[in-house]
Structure 1
Amino acid sequence: MGILSGNPKNEPMHYGEIFSVWQCSTIAKGAVSCYQAYMSHAGDKDLKRILEDLLDQAKLEIKECDTLLTENGIAPAPTLPERPHVEFEDIPAGARFTDPEIAAKVTADTAMGLVAASQTIGQSIREDIGALFAKYHATKTALGLRILQMNKEKGWLIPPPLQVKRPDSE
């Protein structure tokens, strides 16, 4: 049998895996806090459904990553306090995030999450960690597609410069 072969859960995590799992948990904890606030600011029902799904995914990532860290003797970052629910109408218009602003932020967060998951998959030598982040990557891909479709349907998508006129090929 080769080096580090056998049950991956019995193998030590290397420093890159430790940091990536810890970072995923920490970022997910920040996302929960932020998306809970966005739930109070969002007016669009489709956006609220996506926020709920993003919250569920972030909470799952926290649970799974914190368990993995704890089982390996690493203390996870502390969890932020739950945000209280605020009625949409109680937030002054000038202080309220708009639905397109929220959609743009979750679009960027999801795209960055895809890159981070890919990086963790690539650096992992423990198969269980690579598989865990492959699962996160697949979920973020599906959520990203739903967000893109919503942004297009609502007219919230701000595309980069488009090449309308193509150069003549000679």
Structure 2
Amino acid sequence: MGILSGNPQNEPMHYGEVFGVWTYLSGAKSLIAGYQTFINHAGDDDLRNFLQDSIQTKKQEITQVENLLKANGVGLPPAPPERPKADLESIPVGARFMDNEIATAVSRDISMGLVACSQIMGQSVREDIAAMFGQFHATKAQYGLRLLRIMKEKGWLVPPPLHMNAPELAYV
């Protein structure tokens, strides 16, 4: 039996785990405020519903991560205040985020979240932390697929140029 082979909750977190988990928590709290703002700007019902579901999922993640950090004596990052609800029509058209811009930004956030979860999983020594972020990763992958489908249905997806014909290579 090694020093880190017992109950994971009884093992200390190493500095990399603390930093990764704390940073993830800080980002998740900020994303909630951003998504609340996006809801105020979104005109599409499917996009608004997606954002609301994302916020609920992030709140559940935040609870789990805060409990982990508290149990390990780590101070929590501050959270931005909740955003008030606004009337879409009161936001001037030129100052409003467009639905396709919102979807693209959220798609980027999901991609970065997948990388963050993978990094935390890879550096974790504690199995419970790796498993928690594995769960978060799987959920993000599902949300990414859901958003991709919405973006395709709405015509918001702008793919990079398709590479149909590769040039022939000249051999010397």
- Normalized against structure 2, the TM-score is what? 0.95
Range with bigger deviation, 147-156 or 106-115: 147-156
Question: Tell me, what secondary structure is at the counterpart of 1:52?
Answer: helix
Residues 7-86 of structure 1 correspond to what in structure 2 (within 5 A)?
Answer: 7-86=7-86
1:140 aligns with 2:126: no
Q: How far did residue 60 of structure 1 move?
A: 1.4
Report the AA paired with residue 20 of structure 1. Answer: G
Q: Could you tell me how far apart the structure 1 residues matched to 2:149 and 2:33 are?
A: 25
Partner SS state of residue 164, structure 2: coil
- Matched residues in 2 for 1:90 and 1:58: separation? 28
The CA distance in 2 between the partners of 1:164 and 1:98, in whole Å, is 31
Identity %: 54
Residue 110 of structure 1 is matched in structure 2 by 110
- Counterpart position of 1:152: 152
The whole-number CA distance in structure 2 between the counterparts of 1:5 and 1:55 is 36
CA apart distance, 1:165: 2.5
CA displacement, residues 40-79 of structure 1 (integer Å, 9 cap, x when unaligned): 1000011111101111121112111111111101101012
Q: Which amino acid aligns with 2:90?
A: D
Which amino acid in 1 is paired with 2:56?
D
Shift of 1:164: 2.1
CA contact (8 A) 1:24 1:61 kept: no
Runs of at least 4 residues off by over 3 Å:
166-169
Conserved? CA contact 1:13–1:72, under 8 Å: yes
Stretches of structure 1 lacking an aligned partner (at least 5 in a row):
none
Count of paired positions: 170
**What's the secondary structure of 2:160's corresponding residue?**
coil
Tell me the distance in 1 between the aligned counterparts of 2:59 and 2:95: 27
- State the distance in 1 between where 2:143 and 2:79 align: 24
Unaligned runs of 5+ in 2: none
Q: Residues 131-162 of structure 1, C-alpha deviation per residue, up to 9 Å, x if partnerless?
A: 00000000000000011111111111111121
Secondary structure at the residue paired with 1:82? coil
Q: TM-score of the superposition, structure 1-length normalised? A: 0.96
Letter in 2 for 1:66: E
